[in-house]
Structure 1
């Protein structure tokens, strides 16, 4: 959106503007200090709410007409004026004035200038307190829907890899040490699960966002004969905020949205960290698409995973925004306090940052290539089959703790010889425990270890194949 902003002309000269332009100026006998105007304005960033502000005002005007507060003709005059203003803002030809403080008063003043005193009737039965809360809820609702779509795109990018990567086995890690073998598709679907929980959280948050505050006015409601449900229906809100004091002071919905975005960012950061490691020469598990990497100004050989590093780094901003919001509300009494003006920049930044990260992550995931030959060359290192061997021994009647100790000793023997478990002799296995026979070799080696898994949710090939099918169905891929 292209916007124009202009300071109060007197502000740059250090002199008060002639005449009080404030909607609340009647009780004041002088003008606002220029420094205060600059310090307290929010239009430089809340102008992003113009679409929501116009939409809310149109619904409010038509409701006032339906209850007889306005005539139908007056309401349509207001609607036409607001739509004209919206077109100007979208075209970048509307001049936002700093001395009018915020997006709401800029639009209202422009409306009055266009249609005269009829425009002054629009604010009947509402306050800027419930107006901004309505606009912000509408904006966040749209933000939730955008994030949900982008998360779905990222899930589809992971599921889209599953056909080509179906036979690839990766070393799974705990403590960044090799632990057990897992199918690559099991890895991809693990991220699908994380991002699905993010989608579920956003959907749940949307229910609480989608409650209409408009009509609760400043803090106590209004004596005007208004119909809040009429507005809720027009703006597609699921219900009405029930308490006017709560409505005026509430920013739970914004903080919950910021929290949900923070978890999205944290999950993206986990992916970024993993793939940054995997793309190193030391791991060499994955090749990132060069279009999403950058080079070095001094070292000509470098292909740096800068996009993934920035996704990891930008998570810090999103976490910081959430913390700022939590601190912002910690000591506020009921009802509205001007501190709440500080919420929007934090939420806008988190939404912009997470949406950009999601778009890029989808492209990187879709375009990355597993380095299968290199993965396979080192797959038998790290004794990934040790736990499978332990469970084989348990099936022969040995208690788990005893089996754990026996296999630990066998791993130590193999480490001393610098060989995998599968290369130990039958005599060495039987020396560890008499019940071990030739069947031990049926569970050794990563491929046979993978084939031995059975439990629901495991990396068992048939279980993973079932999950891939379910995810394709769920995501309609």
Structure 2
């Protein structure tokens, strides 16, 4: 494609080093979609005839079919997806095929192709994330009446509804969905027509190109158009936080399923055994979710380091932006494919959870707050209850073992009403502050969560199918 300037062929070792087909051949369909829009724009500008327009569209459709069927094998000497598609088109159409690249550079071509490809990927991931949110709501609704220990510092803290636990993850992943929408919005402008960096002397209607490809508008600056990878950074930001949240959830489920905790039961179909120990049931799927998170975080760092030191406008460094992108997309799809059905089959081990309440120390805050209602300053109440815990430990007793007389000997303000409330269900029911763990509050959260999932469905449906995309993202 540049032989007019050079006096010798590109060295074989250079071809191997500079090729990008191992990562950008996946972009062929999006690239051809962008090329078809460019053909329409060329025709509208009078740069090609109606007959040439029709021939180019037919030719591109044939190339696409050959790509999908596997008949068209990319050639490394053509470097990338763009030149392989164009070369095959030229084989089919002769000189007419050579008109495809009129007014276009691979710089604005890849910027457009990447946006088209990533837009489709985000819709697929968004649909899977919505299903994941629905799975968390399902577990919250199913487990709302189960009371389990809540933890801080991995130490028993206070009783909570298991539904409240599941909703805590729901809200985090819902924020991830909002970040996905923000990453999607970053793809709303079309760089096609920016050419290498300065635009074109040809009368290209960039607004038409944007409309044909269902973008909101053309990008505002041709240099920024070909140099910017902000939209990829926005995607990696979403992916990184989502993966971190997945890792945290996986860590929880691994711990709560352990023999030492015994709060949750994982489905056999999503666990593995041991090659030597017959009794083992290992949470390998969750461990892999935790392990793969580092790969996604690495993709974000990889892109940021690439972007930090290159000058405007386009530099070949940017070719490598797709390597981390493809790896992260593959990992995201895998995590969502396995986590959703796994979550739907997690069950509470009520017997295991109840062990956390046996000594009654988990109700210590309930006692302190009861004393506050009796007019005792909180810091004084905190000290009184702390001393009671200390005394019980010295006597090898728990709060559950104390008689009313022993309670009053430790804390005179204690009465029968307080002792009656020192049980898991009462403790949960009385925590009815907004966003708290009371059963009523968890039901409210679930109701709000269902509305958010409906909103997510509406957003996704707007971008699926043969519809005109609007700027109202």
Name the TM-score class by shorter chain: over 0.9
1:113 aligns with 2:91: yes
**SS of 1:310 mapped into structure 2:** helix
1:271 aligns with 2:212: no
Question: Is the CA contact (8 Å cut-off) linking 1:63 and 1:231 kept in structure 2?
Answer: yes
Question: Is the CA contact (8 Å cut-off) linking 1:443 and 1:452 kept in structure 2?
Answer: no
**SS of 2:74 mapped into structure 1:** strand
Which of 364, 386, 392 aligns to 2:364? It is 386
What whole-Å deviation, never above 9, does each CA across 1:380-401 have from its counterpart, x for those lacking one?
3462211122111112222222
Which of 289, 292, 299 aligns to 2:267? It is 289
Cα root mean square deviation, aligned: 1.6
Alignment of 1:71-110 (within 5 A): 71-110=49-88
1:156 aligns with 2:129: no
**SS of 2:261 mapped into structure 1:** coil
* Greater RCO, 1 or 2 (C-alpha within 8 Å, sep 6+): 2
Alignment of 1:2-401 (within 5 A): 23-381=1-359, 383-401=361-379
User: Structure 2: which 5+ runs fail to align?
Assistant: 458-473
**SS of 1:125 mapped into structure 2:** coil
Answer with 203-212 or 338-347: which moved more: 203-212
Question: Is the CA contact (8 Å cut-off) linking 2:136 and 2:344 kept in structure 1?
Answer: yes
**SS of 2:199 mapped into structure 1:** coil
Task: Give the drift of 1:422.
Answer: 4.0
Equivalent residue for 1:413?
Answer: 391
Question: Is the CA contact (8 Å cut-off) linking 2:41 and 2:205 kept in structure 1?
Answer: yes
What whole-Å deviation, never above 9, does each CA across 1:111-152 have from its counterpart, x for those lacking one?
011011111111111110010011111111112112211111
**SS of 2:116 mapped into structure 1:** helix
Equivalent residue for 1:429?
Answer: 407
**SS of 1:218 mapped into structure 2:** coil
Answer with 379-388 or 297-306: which moved more: 379-388
Question: Is the CA contact (8 Å cut-off) linking 1:392 and 1:443 kept in structure 2?
Answer: no
**Length, aligned pairs only:** 455
Task: Give the drift of 1:432.
Answer: 4.1
Question: Is the CA contact (8 Å cut-off) linking 2:299 and 2:324 kept in structure 1?
Answer: yes
Answer with 150-159 or 37-46: which moved more: 150-159
Question: Is the CA contact (8 Å cut-off) linking 1:284 and 1:375 kept in structure 2?
Answer: yes
Answer with 369-378 or 455-464: which moved more: 369-378
Normalising by the residue count of structure 1, what TM-score does the alignment of the two structures yield?
A: 0.92
Equivalent residue for 1:5?
Answer: none
Equivalent residue for 2:463?
Answer: none
What whole-Å deviation, never above 9, does each CA across 1:219-272 have from its counterpart, x for those lacking one?
111111011111111111122211111111111111110121111111110111
Q: State how far apart, in whole Å, the 2-side matches of 1:438 and 1:217 are.
A: 81
Q: State how far apart, in whole Å, the 2-side matches of 1:443 and 1:125 are.
A: 77
Which of 439, 444, 453 aligns to 2:417? It is 439
Question: Is the CA contact (8 Å cut-off) linking 2:182 and 2:234 kept in structure 1?
Answer: no
Answer with 95-104 or 120-129: which moved more: 120-129
Query: 1:215–1:375: structure 2 CA closer, same or farther, 3 Å change rule?
Result: same
Question: Is the CA contact (8 Å cut-off) linking 2:223 and 2:312 kept in structure 1?
Answer: yes
What whole-Å deviation, never above 9, does each CA across 1:309-351 have from its counterpart, x for those lacking one?
1110000111111111111111111010000001101011111
